[in-house]
Amino acid sequence: MTVLLTRRIPSAALSKLQAAHDVEIYDGPSPISEDELKRRIVGKQALICLLTEKISAEVIATSDLRIIANIAVGYENIDVAAARARGIVVTNTPDVLTEAVAEFTWALILAAVRRLTEGERLLRRGAWQGWTLDFMLGSGLQGKQLGIVGTGRIGRAVAAKAPAFGMRVAFAKRGQPSSPQSEKVAVPLSMDELLVSSDVISLHVPGGQATRHMIDKKSLARMKRSAILVNTSRGSVVDEEALAWALRERLIAAAALDVYEREPAVHPPLLEMENVILAPHLGSATHETRRAMASLAVENVLAVLSGQPPKTPVS
């Protein structure tokens, strides 16, 4: 059978796939276009793709696929309903990236509260005048509240590291029953209670219509003026225009973003602001994690093409 890869994947995973099936790799300089994808997908039984590719109902309709394996935990780039309607299995890569994203979230939290990137920029442009008592003061984390929005694997892994910094954890109930596991480490609050009482708010919900602009002008205005907003989930969760307004008006102290509404574009006013840290979607970007993500996608493809159930189907 033939598998289409929209990008080259780490060699161990690729070799395993090539040992079992024919493999075609798209090697273009930028993400594959929808038209190119439609052309290449014909006659392929499996597709391994990334979150940067939109796998629309139209693409799906032109295919004979048995599986679409996304190398990402998020899968809002795929029209899952259209795939399901044609009996195509869709898989993602949960678990293997949880710790990497949680670690990166903490990197952003620490960098934001201690103004790390702002300080580095100042130093690099030769503007540092030396140590003084009141120079570039940030805030400590000890005794503060970390508000987690989204208590899936990543939200829980971020929460689990909070005691190391002396933080207490709250999580947003968002209407759904809370899991006993998350209640062990955190206090459940309504979304509004969480917004008004947290010192750091970290977002870990999936992307898609249900969470689009969950953080908007209204919710930003409810946060503490000293609050820090961190987003390592999906850009669509935060209204970037509203965020730029809140940062400009100093309604919140700072933000740290790894994801954007229109990646790789960033809402231009954010680029000019000192009180926002902007990372280029690096949450899962470790050698170990990316190898594990690619291997899991390949395992899913191998399973489905040999008539077995996949390891990590999307629900």
Residues near ligand DGY (CB under 6 A) are 51, 72-74, 97, 283-284
3-class secondary structure per residue, the chain: CEEEECCCCCHHHHHHHHHHCEEEECCCCCCCCHHHHHHHHCCCCEEEECCCCCECHHHHHCCCCCEEEECCCCCCCECHHHHHHCCCEEECCCCCCHHHHHHHHHHHHHHHHCCHHHHHHHHHCCCCCCCCCCCCCCCCCCCCEEEEECCCHHHHHHHHCHHHHCCEEEEECCCCCCCHHHHHHCEEECHHHHHHHCCEEEECCCCCHHHCCCECHHHHHHCCCCCEEEECCCHHHECHHHHHHHHHCCCCCEEEECCCCECCECCHHHHCCCCEEECCCCCCCCHHHHHHHHHHHHHHHHHHHCCCCCCCECC
Cβ(172)–Cβ(152) below 8 Å: no
Q: Which is nearer to ligand DGY, 45 or 77 (CB)?
A: 77
Cβ(252)–Cβ(273) below 8 Å: no
Q: Which is nearer to ligand DGY, 153 or 217 (CB)?
A: 153
Q: How far is the CB of 289 from ligand DGY (least distance, A)?
A: 8
Q: How far is the CB of 97 from ligand DGY (least distance, A)?
A: 6
Query: Is 124 part of the annotated catalytic residue set?
Result: no
Q: How far is the CB of 269 from ligand DGY (least distance, A)?
A: 24
How far is Cα 110 from Cα 114, in angstroms, rounded to an integer?
6
Q: How far is the CB of 292 from ligand DGY (least distance, A)?
A: 11
Query: Is 281 part of the annotated catalytic residue set?
Result: yes
Q: How far is the CB of 75 from ligand DGY (least distance, A)?
A: 8
Q: Which is nearer to ligand DGY, 79 or 199 (CB)?
A: 79
Query: Is 248 part of the annotated catalytic residue set?
Result: no
Q: Which is nearer to ligand DGY, 195 or 259 (CB)?
A: 259
How far is Cα 2 from Cα 44, in angstroms, rounded to an integer?
5
Q: Which is nearer to ligand DGY, 158 or 251 (CB)?
A: 158
Handedness of CA 66, 42, 4, 39 (dihedral sign): negative
Q: Which is nearer to ligand DGY, 138 or 208 (CB)?
A: 208
Q: How far is the CB of 107 from ligand DGY (least distance, A)?
A: 14
Give me the catalytic one of 36, 58, 183, 263. Answer: 263
Give me the catalytic one of 234, 267, 290, 299. Answer: 234
Helix axes 116-124, 98-113, angle to 10 degrees: 60
CA-based end-to-end distance of the chain: 26
Q: Which is nearer to ligand DGY, 115 or 234 (CB)?
A: 234
Give me the catalytic one of 40, 212, 222, 281. Answer: 281
Q: How far is the CB of 232 from ligand DGY (least distance, A)?
A: 8
Residues labelled as active-site residues: 234, 263, 281
